[in-house]
Structure 1
Amino acid sequence: MVVEETSTPTITTKEDQTKGYSNPIPNPNSNEEAEEEPEEGEIVGEENGSESSKGLSLQQQHPLEHSWTFWFDNPSAKSKQATWGISMRSIYTFSTVEQFWSLYNNIHHPSKLAVGADFYCFKHKIEPKWEDPVCANGGKWTVTFSRGKSDSSWLYTLLAMIGEQFDYGDEICGAVVSVRIKQEKIALWTKNAANEAAQMSIGKQWKEFLDYNDSMGFIFHEEAKRLDRGAKNRYSI
């Protein structure tokens, strides 16, 4: 799968929306590499507030429409837990374009995560769990990649979400990339699974953003809880 530069979603800030247009915000450190490799789930130089972000004035910051939180589920901790989700922890909440890139440039991308890891980006105050009230009646679209091949699509998914590029953006809860032995999966979680028009619109736009050529399916969370792997796709593209 090849994703062309022209298909990259743009990030729409609150200021842009008042002006009535979408303005692409580049990665300020796109040509810079981190000096040291961070540990899984670790953010280098970030402690309850981005130091680089603190040094920027409010005029230099570009606020996003929503705040977003990164979550990490450690594979080694998951194997020891009695209940799913106990090992999941929130890492950092960001609300500006600058904070996003500061974080993204200093965390492991999917290809660098250990097998069994799950890395999430959800709207602030929505937990990436079926039990969360916002997610309870929702579902998810899923795309699959070979091991080490989801990095670009993960970034494009994040940009599409935080940049408010979906027509039904209010339906979006967040996304998760899951690293497994033979493959990597990215799932896009939504609020109201029964709203077929909204889910189909989201799925079609997401597929276009990623330039994804294979089929993708949508599963209801409620059915996934009851049937586990026996849950079938309710919508397909």
Structure 2
Amino acid sequence: MSTEVAAEVVVAPPANDAEEGTKQSHKLERKWAFWFDTTKPKQGAAWGSTLKKAYTFDTVEEFWCLYDQIFKPSKLTGNADFHLFKAGVEPKWEDPECANGGKWTVSGSRKTNLDGMWLETLMALIGEQFDEADDICGVVVSARQRGDKLSLWTRNATNEAVQMSIGRKWKEIIDVTDKISYSFHDDAKKDKSSRGRYSV
């Protein structure tokens, strides 16, 4: 998907059912934002320099319009990311909400189960299905030649009880039986290791 395609979605807002006078918009508990990163940064450019916010939404209707148009992992080309994060939080380690956090990660495949896991996670987030919803920053789906993955980012990596609860709930939501692990952003910053600190 090119950045031009994503830009077209940004300027074409979802249909407003309220204008039709037949349906009422269903407000979400909080605002969310879709982000995308589908281009390789130029050599020497800072990480995140190609990260773009695509759309912010706060109703169920807006979510489905956006999801139905472009936000599916199977549409990603290699080396691309889609993100759904709480509005006001950038999907970067440097964001204050993410700085002390980490992520649960699960492997998937664009050919088989990634679209389903992505959708189930999105619905769980916007539907506030996690007891520890305030500790969740967002979710990232990454398409890579060496293997696709889904990562659930959280705010407070050192709170093991909260992270374990989130991890167990997420496994249940995405229907994964294999072990998944949680890594601290700080570990990745220091040694580029994806070594997990917790696992469920």
Query: Do these two structures clear the TM 0.5 threshold for a shared fold by scoring above it?
Result: yes
Q: Which amino acid aligns with 1:102?
A: C
Q: Any gaps of 5 or more consecutive residues in structure 1?
A: 1-37
Distance 2:187 2:158 in 1: 12
Please state if 1:185 is matched with 2:153.
Answer: no
Please state if 1:137 is matched with 2:100.
Answer: yes
Distance 2:38 2:9 in 1: 20
Q: 1:151 to 1:93 in 2, by over 3 A?
A: same
Q: Which amino acid aligns with 2:156?
A: N
Q: Matches of residues 1-237 of structure 1 in structure 2 within 5 Å?
A: 39=2, 42=6, 46-47=10-11, 49-52=13-16, 55=19, 60-75=24-39, 77-80=40-43, 82-149=45-112, 150-228=114-192, 230-237=193-200
Identity among equivalent pairs (%): 48
Conserved in 1, the CA contact under 8 Å of 2:14 and 2:62? yes
Q: TM-score, normalised by structure 2?
A: 0.91
Deviation at 1:80, TM superposition (A): 4.7
Conserved in 2, the CA contact under 8 Å of 1:43 and 1:103? no
Q: TM-score, normalised by structure 1?
A: 0.77
Distance 1:125 1:99 in 2: 18
Cα distance per residue 1:122-143 (max 9 Å; x no partner): 0000000000001000000000
Conserved in 2, the CA contact under 8 Å of 1:44 and 1:106? no
Conserved in 2, the CA contact under 8 Å of 1:43 and 1:107? no
CA RMSD for the aligned pairs? 2.2
Aligned residues: 198
Q: Which amino acid aligns with 1:64?
A: L
Q: Which amino acid aligns with 1:214?
A: D
Distance 1:90 1:172 in 2: 19
Q: Any gaps of 5 or more consecutive residues in structure 2?
A: none
Deviation at 1:147, TM superposition (A): 4.0
Q: Which amino acid aligns with 1:212?
A: V
Distance 1:56 1:81 in 2: 50
Cα distance per residue 1:128-186 (max 9 Å; x no partner): 00000010000000000134230000000100111000011111100000000142100
Q: 1:57 to 1:176 in 2, by over 3 A?
A: farther
Which contiguous aligned blocks of 4+ residues in structure 1 show a shift greater than 3 angstroms? 38-41, 43-46, 51-59
Conserved in 1, the CA contact under 8 Å of 2:10 and 2:54? no
